[in-house]
Amino acid sequence: MTSQSGRIAVFSDMHFMAWQQTLTPVEWVPDLERALQDAARQSPDIFVCNGDLTNGKDRDYDLAMSAIRRHCGRPKHYFTMGNHEYYGFYEDADFSDDLAQQRFLHHTGMPNIHFEVRRFGLSLVFLSTDGYRPDWKDAGVLHPATLHWLEQRLLNAPPGPVLVWFHQPVNDTVADSTNTCMQSDELRSIFSKRPGVLFLSGHTHCRMDRKDQLVYQDGTLFVGGGCAFGDTPQSRWLDIGRNSIVLRIRDHRDERWLDDWTRTVRFHGGLWSID
């Protein structure tokens, strides 16, 4: 299925924030730092934060990137934008989607807000929501040009699985995915043309150790994300093998794997199977 093996740590909804007046980190930042320390001890090859890394302010990015480099600096880092990366709307008089995206790119070093990399013999596609408006109610939005770009990336990907990251779930897939993505129909249509998509989301803050966080629909495997702080601080891990992908959940409060929720998935003959 793949030509190489490796380990991917997937976080989302870290919400690094600092208070405007004092630059003091908000109260859950120490929990995030402990989660990063625990993650680093598991030796990932790739670290992903799939949206809502920050609240979109320069001070938030400074805090987030310093913590990640300090505690989990060895693996390669990849980031996507969620709705909260656009929350400069609530503080900056000159806010625009372009400004939010420029800040994201400047601080994270990503090549674009949408990009593809090839690792482990697979195509890894990273999507960001293209904008934010309060009346969209935090739903993800993808412009027509982005959807066209995605379709081309999937059609040109090497045979086998394609891993796609986007902060908001496709509607009516994983837990609490009601009206979470405005272009859900378009995404389903694109995925139907390219069997083997494994779509990873975040946004909902739902714990991952529940059955409706791994959903197989119409040839696409949807994997829900959680939150790195709060009552159930968790991250999703993908152990890439030559014939399988092992999906694991890391509990950062107790620093243990939730073995009862480990699943092995395989893609063969145009279909996913789940052990």
pLDDT band at 38 (very low <50, low <70, confident <90, very high): very high
Is 86 within a domain? yes
Tell me the CA distances in angstroms from 54 to 79, 81, 119, one per residue in order: 11, 9, 26
Q: Which pLDDT belongs to residue 4?
A: 84
CB 54 within 8 A of CB 60: yes
Is 79 within a domain? yes
pLDDT band at 3 (very low <50, low <70, confident <90, very high): low
CB 120 within 8 A of CB 6: yes
Q: Which pLDDT belongs to residue 218?
A: 95
Predicted confidence (pLDDT) per residue in 110-166, tens digit: 999 999 999 999 999 999 999 999 999 999 999 999 999 999 999 999 989 999 999
Query: At residue 1, does pLDDT exceed 70?
Result: no
- Give me the helix-helix angle, 144-156 and 184-192, nearest 10°: 20
Mean local confidence (pLDDT), 49-76? 97
Distance CA 53, CA 85 (A): 7
CATH number for the domain that contains residue 68 = 3.60.21.10
Q: Which pLDDT belongs to residue 34?
A: 98
**Domain span holding position 108:** 6-274
**226 CB-side CA count, 13 A:** 24
Q: Work out the mean pLDDT of the chain and round it to a whole number.
A: 97
Predicted confidence (pLDDT) per residue in 178-220, tens digit: 999 999 999 999 999 999 999 999 999 999 999 999 999 999 9
Rounded to the nearest 10°, the torsion over CA 34, 68, 75, 125 is: 110
Is 239 within a domain? yes
DSSP state of 169: P
| Segments of the chain assigned E as strands | 6-11, 46-50, 76-80, 115-119, 122-126, 162-165, 197-200, 214-217, 220-223, 234-240, 245-251, 256-257, 263-268, 271-274
Distance CA 260, CA 26 (A): 33
Is 1 within a domain? no
Q: Which pLDDT belongs to residue 93?
A: 86
| Segments of 173-243 assigned E as strands | 197-200, 214-217, 220-223, 234-240
Q: Which pLDDT belongs to residue 30?
A: 98
CB 84 within 8 A of CB 15: yes
The label of the residue with tokens 């994270």 reads 108
- pLDDT higher at 165 or 242: 165
How many domains does the chain divide into?
1
